Structure 1
Amino acid sequence: MQIKQAQQLWQPHEGWLNTASYGLPPDPAWAALQEALAGWRTGNMGVTGEGWDEAQARTRAAFARLVGVPEPDVAIGSAASQLFAPVAAALPAGATVLVPEVEFTSNLFPWLAQEQRGVRVRTVPLAGLVDAIDADTDLVAFSLVQSADGAVARYADIVAAARAHDALVAVDATQACGWLPFDAALADVVVLAAYKWLLAPKGTALAYYAPELRERMRPDAAGWYAGADPLTSLYGPPLRLADSARRFDIAPAWFSYIGAAPALELLLQVGVPAIHAHNVALANRFRAGLGLPPGDSAITTAEVPEAQSRLERAGLRAAVRAGRVRVSFHLYSSEDDVDRALTALTG
C-alpha cells in the first residue's frame, strides 16, 4: 500500500504533530474497536471473549514480522516497565546496569528497583554509551530513539560493545518501532509500548525475549493467560505454563488489542522502510525551515521563544520535553502540517 493511499484511512484534525505522545488510529482499528464496544454492551462477544483473544494473536504475529523475530519469542503486556520487570528481577545480585542519563523511566525504574539486591545503575551521556561499556557491565539498557529529543542510538555499535564484554542488551523501542527499521534479534530483550508509533490504544505493550534470556527469567506475574493452554489453565495446580515467551504474558486488555491488530497489520502493508522515508523527510523539511541541519529521526526538538504557545495559537499540537518543543511526524502527517508549523514558529 502506498503512503498516499494509506493516508486516506485517518481522520486527524489538522496540525497533529505529537505522535511521540500518542498515535492516531487508522479507520480499520477505530471500526474494530467500535464493533467490540457494541458487542460488550449487548453481551455478544462470546462467553469467554474468543474474538478478543484472536486480536492479541494477530497483534503478536504482526509485531514479530515488524521487528524480524520468531512469534514464539514475543510476549504481550500492558506497559513497557511491566515487561522489563522480569528481566530486572533475573539480574544477579550485585550486577551493574549501564543506562543513558536522560533515559525514559520505563527503562530505568525497573533496574533502580533492584538496588536493594545490590544492583547498581550507572548513567552516562548517550553519546558516550558505547565507550562506557566495560568488563563490569552486566546489562546495557537504552531507548533506540530517545523520547526527550528523538536522538537515534547507535544500535549496532552498542550491541557490539556489549557482546565484547558479555553484557546483555535491553532496548526500549517505544519511540522507534513503526517508523525505524531495526533488527530486534540483535538484542536480548526489546520492549515497547504500542500506543505511539504502532498506533494502538493505550494498554498494549510487546516484548521480544531471546530464548537464552528466558532461561534466566522467572514468570512471577504468571496467571491463566500464561498457561500452555489458557482455557485449561483456569483452576488448580500444577503449574503448567507455555514453553514460549507466552509464559510471561499477562491477560491482555481486550479492547486495546482489538484496536491494535488492524493498526499493526496496516503498518506491515505500507512497510516500515517507506514510513521511515516519509517521516524523516517531513522532519528534515521542518528542520530546514528553522535553519537546522538534517537529521535521521522522525522526532525533532527546537528552541524557539514561546514555541508551544505559538503552535497552540495556530491550532497545532506538539509537546515540550526537556525544555524544548518536540514535534513528531508519522504516516498521516503531511507537508502542509510542516509548513503550518514553520509559519507559526517563524512568522
Structure 2
Amino acid sequence: MEIAELWDPEPGWLNTASYGLPPRPAWEALQAALSDWRVGATSWEPWDGSTTRARESFARLIGADSENVFVGSTVSAALAPIAAALPDGAKVLTDDVEFTSNVFPWQVHADRGIEVIAVPGDDVVGRITPGIDLVAVSAVQSSTGAVLDLPAVVAASKQIGALVVIDATQAVGWHPITVDGVDALIAHSYKWLMAPRGATLGYLSPRLQERCRPSAAGWYAARDIHGSYYGPVMELDPGARRFDQSPAWFSFVGAAPALELIEEIGVETINRHNLALANEFRAGLGLEPSNSAIVSTRLPGAQEAFAAAGIRAAVRGGKLRASFHIYSTRDDVQQALSALKPLIRG
C-alpha cells in the first residue's frame, strides 16, 4: 500500500498544528479496542500493551532510552513536578509567544519567588546568562512555526548550568530532534504524531529525575504494577516510570501504531515532504523559504477566503496559520493559493 493511501483526509486540511489525522493502522486499532470495550470482550491488559509500545517508539524517535520516558495526559501536568522542584527565587527564561502549557506551570509558583522572563524568540539564546536557572521553550513554536536552534540553547545553558526543558509537541513527528543535552522533552501526541488526544510522552534526564518528586504517583508508577493495587507499601519504579500517570488506554491504543508508522516512514522523509509543500505555499504568497512545516503570515481576509473555499486552517496571534504534514498534497497547496489569490499582491 502506498503511504498516501494510509490516510483519508478531505481536501483542504491544513491544520495539523491543531490536530493530526490518524493513519489507518491507528484508526483500525482504536475501533477494534472500542468494539471490545463495548461488549467486554477482553481485559484491559492488551490495551495497556500499547502504552509500552508507544513509550518505546517515542524513545527511539527522540534518541532516548525507554527507561527515561514517562507517560501522561497533558504537557502542563508533565511539567508540574519539574516546576515544584525549582528552588525558591529561581528564574525561568521562555519565549514571549510560548504556548502557555510551558509557561503557567512555572508561573503558578510566583508565590515562591519563581520569576518567568519572556523574551522574543530571536533573543532567547542571547539571554541565557548567569542568573537563569531553567530555559523553557518549544522546539517549534505553535503560533509562528519558528524552529528553535536547539544546539545553541543547549550550549548556552550548559555554560551556566541551567536546565533545558523543551515542549516538542509541534516538532516530534516531522522535525528531527534528539534529547542530547536536554533535561526534559515533553510532547503531546495528538498533533504531528497523529494520535488521539490524551497521550503525552516525555523524557526526563537521570539528573532531573533525582531532583523531582513523583507527586502524582499512583499504582501505575510502581515497580510492580499488578502488585500495587492496594495498601500502604510503596515501591516506585526506579526510572522515569515513577512519573507515569495512569494512561488513557484508548489514546495509547491509537498512539502506538501511529508512532510506529512514523518510524517506518522515517522522520527525515516526512520532513522533506512537509517542507517542500510548506515552501511551495510560502512561494505562492511571496514569502522566503523556511525550515518549518508551519506557515504563519498576516494576510487580511485570509480566514474568510479559506472558509469560503472549504479549507481548514487556523488563525493564531492575528495571523493565518497553515500546517502541512505527510498526508498533505500539492493539490492542497494549490487549492489554498487559489483561494487566497485575490488577496495576494504581485
Determine if the alignment matches structure 1 residue 57 to structure 2 residue 32: no
Query: 1:169 is matched with which residue?
Result: 164
Determine if the alignment matches structure 1 residue 288 to structure 2 residue 283: yes
Q: 2:218 aligns with which of 216, 223, 237?
A: 223
Query: 1:214 is matched with which residue?
Result: 209
Determine if the alignment matches structure 1 residue 268 to structure 2 residue 225: no
Query: 2:107 is matched with which residue?
Result: 112
Identity percentage of aligned residues: 53
Determine if the alignment matches structure 1 residue 89 to structure 2 residue 84: yes
Determine if the alignment matches structure 1 residue 28 to structure 2 residue 25: yes
Determine if the alignment matches structure 1 residue 336 to structure 2 residue 327: no
Determine if the alignment matches structure 1 residue 124 to structure 2 residue 119: yes
Query: Counterparts of 1:224 and 1:6 in 2: how far apart (Å)?
Result: 39
Query: 1:232 is matched with which residue?
Result: 227
Q: 2:196 aligns with which of 198, 201, 210?
A: 201
Q: What does the per-residue CA deviation read over 1:82-104, in whole Å, with 9 as the maximum and x for residues that have no partner? A: 11111111111111101111100
Which AA in structure 2 matches 1:209?
L
For 1:72-87, list aligned pairs within 5 A.
72-87=67-82
Aligned structure 1 segments of 4 or more residues deviating by more than 6 angstroms: none
Q: What does the per-residue CA deviation read over 1:152-199, in whole Å, with 9 as the maximum and x for residues that have no partner? A: 011110111010110000000000000000112321000111100000
State the Cα distance separating 1:309 from its structure 2 match. 1.0
Note the aligned Cα RMSD (angstroms). Answer: 0.8
Query: 2:10 is matched with which residue?
Result: 13
State the Cα distance separating 1:30 from its structure 2 match. 0.5
SS, match of residue 186 in structure 1: coil
State the Cα distance separating 1:63 from its structure 2 match. 0.2
Q: 2:274 aligns with which of 269, 274, 279?
A: 279
State the Cα distance separating 1:44 from its structure 2 match. 1.1
SS, match of residue 82 in structure 2: helix
Determine if the alignment matches structure 1 residue 42 to structure 2 residue 42: no
State the Cα distance separating 1:45 from its structure 2 match. 2.2
State the Cα distance separating 1:268 from its structure 2 match. 0.3
Q: What does the per-residue CA deviation read over 1:290-328, in whole Å, with 9 as the maximum and x for residues that have no partner? A: 111000000001222210110111111000001001000
SS, match of residue 219 in structure 1: coil
Gaps of 5+ in 2: none
Q: What does the per-residue CA deviation read over 1:230-264, in whole Å, with 9 as the maximum and x for residues that have no partner? A: 11011112211000100000110011000000100
State the Cα distance separating 1:134 from its structure 2 match. 1.0
Query: 1:307 is matched with which residue?
Result: 302
State the Cα distance separating 1:128 from its structure 2 match. 0.3
Which AA in structure 2 matches 1:31?
E
State the Cα distance separating 1:5 from its structure 2 match. 2.0
- State the number of aligned residues: 342
Q: What does the per-residue CA deviation read over 1:194-214, in whole Å, with 9 as the maximum and x for residues that have no partner? A: 100000000010100000100
Query: Counterparts of 1:107 and 1:45 in 2: how far apart (Å)?
Result: 38
Which AA in structure 2 matches 1:332?
Y
| Contact 1:78-1:203 within 8 A present in 2 as well | yes
Query: 1:320 is matched with which residue?
Result: 315
Query: Counterparts of 1:7 and 1:269 in 2: how far apart (Å)?
Result: 14
Q: 2:132 aligns with which of 133, 137, 145?
A: 137
Query: Counterparts of 2:42 and 2:101 in 1: how far apart (Å)?
Result: 33
The TM-score with structure 1 as length reference comes to 0.97
Gaps of 5+ in 1: none
Q: What does the per-residue CA deviation read over 1:58-101, in whole Å, with 9 as the maximum and x for residues that have no partner? A: 00000001111000000000001111111111111111101111
Query: Counterparts of 1:133 and 1:305 in 2: how far apart (Å)?
Result: 36
For 1:140-159, list aligned pairs within 5 A.
140-159=135-154
Which AA in structure 2 matches 1:338?
V
The TM-score with structure 2 as length reference comes to 0.98
Q: What does the per-residue CA deviation read over 1:102-154, in whole Å, with 9 as the maximum and x for residues that have no partner? A: 10000000000111111111111110001111110000000010000100011
SS, match of residue 327 in structure 1: strand
| Contact 1:36-1:45 within 8 A present in 2 as well | no
| Contact 1:185-1:210 within 8 A present in 2 as well | no
